[in-house]
Structure 1
Amino acid sequence: MVLTSFVHESYQYEDLIDSLSITRDTSRNPLFDVMFSYFKEEEVSENSLAGLISAYEGLDARVVSKFDISMVVVEGKEQLHISFNYNKRLFKEITMSLFMGYLKTIVSSVLSNPDQLISEITILDKEEKEALLSLSTGVISDVIPTNVTVLDLFKDQVKQRGNEIALELGEERLSYKELGIASDCLAAYLQAEGVEKGMMVGLYMERSIEMIIGILGILKSGGSYMPMNPEQPVLRTIHMLSDSGSKHILINCSIASNFYKDYKITDLRDSRIFEDYKSVTPAIIKTEIAYTIYTSGSTGYPKGVLIGHDSLFNYIQGQKTYFEITSKDAILQFSPIYFDASVEQLWLSLTSGARLVLVAKETLLDSKLFVTYLAEKSITHLHSTPSFLSMLSLPENLSLRNIVSAGERCSSSLASKYISSYRFYNKYGPTETTISALEHEVTVTDIERGVIPIGRPIANTQVYILDAYGTVLPKGSVGELYIGGAGVSRGYLNNEGLTREYFVENPFIKGEMMYRTGDLGRWLPEGTIEFIGRKDSQVKIRGHRIELGEIINQVESHAEVGQSVVVVNGIGSDQYLVCYYTSTTGIESSELESYLQEILP
């Protein structure tokens, strides 16, 4: 290709610029930013060669950079002379030194094995690779005790703090002792109704005290719970129940019985369920499934993510330490139970002896009422989405200590809004790795730089940034995020093909698996990770995974350009009904994302 290009060597550079109609800018080259020059020694005089080398090494003359980076190679009889010249406003000296080191590593690799594929060449030397792998690993905490689960930690709190408040919703309150008894009653009832060890039970419930009792009762019975959104389309609910094999559903709201006539439905508003107290102590093995949350993605259908008791225990223990949670805290149960953030909020509280404060949907929809509620309930720990946090105006006299942003990209403007008054955290993690895998307490330096990191790996977790061939990338290079460690789920329920595709062997720890996220990130100089975006067209809006490509395909297949069209965005994206008008030039992903930001709850 290079040789054939010499046919055009007489074509004038200025004519090329004019033909391309490139806007002129005196501050930069109009056509390219990186220059590579290769000379043979006989093409350069001995004096000019010496001058060139000494100038580029900065030994005598001051060099002015004409490009962002230029690389000059002079081929001598015995060796190559290689020099970099760079724009100091864009690159630091240490960065260019790293580039030189990478180049040397590449050359050494090629010389030692000329027949290898380019994809097999690594630019990292052994020491830097080991340093990055060490950075990729979170704190190694104690091994999870045999068969100890979050339920055991909750039972300890019942013994220690039986008369203290465990749950609140408005004026309703339940002590640890009352919560323990109610959940035991429900567990005994479920066992009598045929719920056996390892059986999945559906939760079709609105925010309530009964909702928390339902979760505890299911786990105490030996089963696992599967939360569902009562407001989602019936088709999605039926799919989840059928796919999971659930035969029992706990409810506290109306349900279309004609659709669910084949299921055993238990309404927790019936007080008779809690009249016959029986203690239940099923032997729960830590490797058994605690819960299954259905999440959407690129398949167009919801996938059931299986999370074990061991993964949940490890996560909660690490988070209690990280956030310094004690029995004096009051944690807001902000997230719906069909989002995994709710799992963190629930168990962070009930395993610490803290108060778990539920909030009514009506309060969530009114920012002033919400702030008043925070004050009335003396909330100390708030975990929410950036879009919700951006709407709040918090007074300075709150009991609030921690604000945690998760589920979407966190902006510098949002962090700067809270950092002076609260400890402000940014978190990242897909459902497939037990809630979160990375976290970071935001600093003034982060805000000044304009980049809010998603942080470092949490306890007993590994987070790698790899290229398309599974090679470790250096700091600053964008690659795909892979997550390993104690939080990696058991895969997707009844979907071995998709499990094999996304849950792959960890090449750095023998015998362990890691999850391929489809998200892009890069290491920042100080050793935290910056979230870049998706490899595909998936976006996350207020915690919902939305496939823009699915919507666009449906729009383009059902309407001409400029027509109005109604789209049901598949079961995979929570089946929201989307009304959209295509533009005269067709539908754009960025335009659609902005529209969804406005209409999604």
Structure 2
Amino acid sequence: EQSQLADWNSTARAYPSGLIHELISQRAAMQPEAIALGFGAQTMSYGELESRANRLAHYLIGLGVGPETPVGIAIERSFELVVGLLAVVKAGGAYVPLDPDYPADRLAYMIEDSGIGLLLSHGAVWPKFQSLCSTRHPEGHQCVAYDLDELDLNSQPDIAPSTRLHPESPAYIIYTSGSTGRPKGAANSHAALANRLHWMQEAYPIGPGDSVLQKTPFSFDVSVWEFFWPLLTGARLAIAEPGAHRDPAALTQLMLNHRVSTLHFVPSMLAEYVNQPELPAFPALKRIVCSGEALSAELQQRVFQRLPGVELDNLYGPTEAAIDVTHWTCRADGGPSVPIGQPIANSQIHILDADLNPLPAGVAGELYIGGLGLARGYHRRPGLTAERFIPDPFGSGRRLYRTGDRAKWRSDGVIEYLGRLDHQIKLRGLRIELGEIEAALLAQTGITEA
């Protein structure tokens, strides 16, 4: 049984060296005139994206950004958002997405908790973040907001900065719901991100001629592969207008206009989309990637009926690992459920009992994750990190992340997801700890129990 479990986790791969932003620079040098970004009727070439991101990166370095520096990003979907994200990682920093749709109190907490000293904003949301940063925070924390529209970057070099960056340095810090009533930031490394994107290119190859839709809010980690994967491969990144991810009709027009070949849906939104009375033919569409919620067999069958010839892939992974750690290519096998599949390259999955003993196929237990994809931990939360990221009991010398998810191995080495072991729920793909809701209720005048 132990030998069989080990075989199911035999997914080692050696991928090309180099950090993601370095590989994007190489791609821009190979095809500077090719279109990198599309937004409405506007386009931006790889060369222009590289030049703009380099200038902003040098500016950020001049402000003190470097390895281990968290930098807030508060920008609606636009060219400026992509330039900002790429510039932060080129400067060596870790971007912290601050969704303009979040309530002001939550954003103020994230600004303070993350320790960001500077924040990039733009356009209509700039005044909101200027106000948030100008508010005096407890313990004297100071954050300066910069409006990308007002920065004069013409004097900055347009060549890539030569930042010395360790692969284990964080590339991004994404906040997720916390059971104590406060969100927590999961810091993911450059090495983990590179492994995840190289695996994705190996599993689902794209290149020049392909178009990937970026519609996921950037506070959700699916957005990370949407932003960076196409730019690694020479494909085009089609950026949805703000709010378009909620509008099936707008998505349809985007997919047709930009000849989208790959896009992501959380299952609840996919159900809304494929249940529309009219769906046009999408001659360019090759693949729909699902994650964030359990994908039902009924919805899988509905997709096969409404979008024949389009591949449907079911991925699984928490924010505490670089985006996804298992994958499954859906098939009409008549099964009662859709599995989450098998580990991606250089990741290990363990299904353990309460005493951390491996469970055989068919027996349900808690799903633990090991391997290159693990986050470094929770940003500035060593106690919580130690609680959730435990030493690997199997002697690898590394760590395992305990997910709180219930799962089991099938006899063929495929993993079935069976729900949560705690009080966490999913709403439109977003993790919500009910403890956070309770804490918000208890903060209201007149409420003593929740």
Give the superposition deviation at 1:364: 2.6
Q: Which residue of 1 aligns with 2:137?
A: none
- Rounded to whole Å, the distance in 2 between the matches of 1:291 and 1:465 is 28
- Rounded to whole Å, the distance in 2 between the matches of 1:131 and 1:230 is 48
Q: Which residue of 2 aligns with 1:421?
A: 309
Q: Which residue of 2 aligns with 1:140?
A: 12
Q: Which residue of 1 aligns with 2:148?
A: 268
What amino acid is aligned across from residue 171 of structure 1 in structure 2? A
Q: Which residue of 1 aligns with 2:84?
A: 214
1:44-100, CA deviations, whole angstroms, 9 ceiling, x for partnerless residues? xxxxxxxxxxxxxxxxxxxxxxxxxxxxxxxxxxxxxxxxxxxxxxxxxxxxxxxxx
Give the superposition deviation at 1:540: 1.0
Give the superposition deviation at 1:365: 3.0
What amino acid is aligned across from residue 146 of structure 2 in structure 1? T
Deviates more, 1:338-347 or 1:296-305: 296-305
Give the superposition deviation at 1:508: 2.2
Q: Which residue of 2 aligns with 1:324?
A: 205
Q: Which residue of 2 aligns with 1:295?
A: 176
- Rounded to whole Å, the distance in 2 between the matches of 1:326 and 1:192 is 35
Structure 1 residue 412 corresponds to structure 2 residue 320: no
Deviates more, 1:319-328 or 1:429-438: 319-328
Q: Which residue of 1 aligns with 2:421?
A: 535
Of 222, 230, 235, 1:349 maps to 230
Q: Which residue of 2 aligns with 1:39?
A: none
Give the superposition deviation at 1:304: 1.2
Give the superposition deviation at 1:326: 1.9
What amino acid is aligned across from residue 475 of structure 1 in structure 2? A
- Rounded to whole Å, the distance in 2 between the matches of 1:479 and 1:204 is 39
- Rounded to whole Å, the distance in 2 between the matches of 1:144 and 1:335 is 27
Does the 8 Å contact 2:216/2:245 carry over to 1?
no
Does the 8 Å contact 1:144/1:310 carry over to 2?
no
Give the superposition deviation at 1:254: 2.5
Give the superposition deviation at 1:410: 0.6
Of 368, 382, 391, 2:272 maps to 391
Q: Which residue of 2 aligns with 1:525?
A: 411
- Rounded to whole Å, the distance in 2 between the matches of 1:559 and 1:216 is 44
Give the superposition deviation at 1:556: 8.9
What amino acid is aligned across from residue 5 of structure 2 in structure 1? L
Structure 1 gaps, min length 5? 1-127, 568-586, 588-601
Aligned pairs (5 A) from 1:88-103: none
Does the 8 Å contact 1:226/1:293 carry over to 2?
yes
Give the superposition deviation at 1:159: 0.9
> What is the aligned-residue RMSD (CA, Å)?
2.1
Q: Which residue of 1 aligns with 2:164?
A: 283
Q: Which residue of 2 aligns with 1:155?
A: 25
Deviates more, 1:249-258 or 1:154-163: 249-258
- Rounded to whole Å, the distance in 1 between the matches of 2:258 and 2:319 is 29
1:196-234, CA deviations, whole angstroms, 9 ceiling, x for partnerless residues? 333111001111110000011111112111111112122
Q: Which residue of 1 aligns with 2:330?
A: 442
Q: Which residue of 1 aligns with 2:352?
A: 466
Q: Which residue of 2 aligns with 1:168?
A: 38
How many residue pairs match? The answer is 431
Give the match's secondary structure for 2:402: strand
Which has the higher Rg, Structure 1 or Structure 2? Answer: 1
Give the match's secondary structure for 1:226: strand
Deviates more, 1:259-268 or 1:299-308: 259-268
Give the superposition deviation at 1:395: 2.6
Q: Which residue of 2 aligns with 1:506?
A: 392
Give the superposition deviation at 1:130: 1.4
Give the match's secondary structure for 1:202: strand
Give the superposition deviation at 1:558: 7.3
Give the superposition deviation at 1:557: 9.9
Give the match's secondary structure for 1:213: helix
Does the 8 Å contact 1:379/1:400 carry over to 2?
yes
Normalising to structure 2: TM-score of the pair? 0.91
- Rounded to whole Å, the distance in 2 between the matches of 1:174 and 1:336 is 21
Q: Which residue of 2 aligns with 1:226?
A: 96
Give the superposition deviation at 1:541: 1.1
Aligned pairs (5 A) from 1:10-49: none
Does the 8 Å contact 1:138/1:458 carry over to 2?
no
Structure 1 residue 491 corresponds to structure 2 residue 374: no
Normalising to structure 1: TM-score of the pair? 0.69
Structure 2 gaps, min length 5? 135-141
Give the match's secondary structure for 1:177: helix
What amino acid is aligned across from residue 285 of structure 2 in structure 1? L
- Rounded to whole Å, the distance in 1 between the matches of 2:192 and 2:351 is 22
- Rounded to whole Å, the distance in 2 between the matches of 1:558 and 1:241 is 23
Does the 8 Å contact 2:181/2:439 carry over to 1?
no
Q: CA, structure 1 residues 234+357, in 2 after alignment: closer, same or farther (shift >3 Å)?
A: same
Greater relative contact order structure (CA < 8 Å, 6+ sep): 2
Q: Which residue of 1 aligns with 2:114?
A: 244
Does the 8 Å contact 2:182/2:436 carry over to 1?
no
Q: Which residue of 2 aligns with 1:546?
A: 432
Deviates more, 1:411-420 or 1:326-335: 411-420
Q: CA, structure 1 residues 551+260, in 2 after alignment: closer, same or farther (shift >3 Å)?
A: closer
Does the 8 Å contact 1:405/1:427 carry over to 2?
yes
- Rounded to whole Å, the distance in 1 between the matches of 2:107 and 2:319 is 19
Q: CA, structure 1 residues 198+412, in 2 after alignment: closer, same or farther (shift >3 Å)?
A: same
Q: CA, structure 1 residues 175+278, in 2 after alignment: closer, same or farther (shift >3 Å)?
A: closer
Task: State percent identity of aligned pairs.
Answer: 35
Does the 8 Å contact 2:365/2:407 carry over to 1?
yes
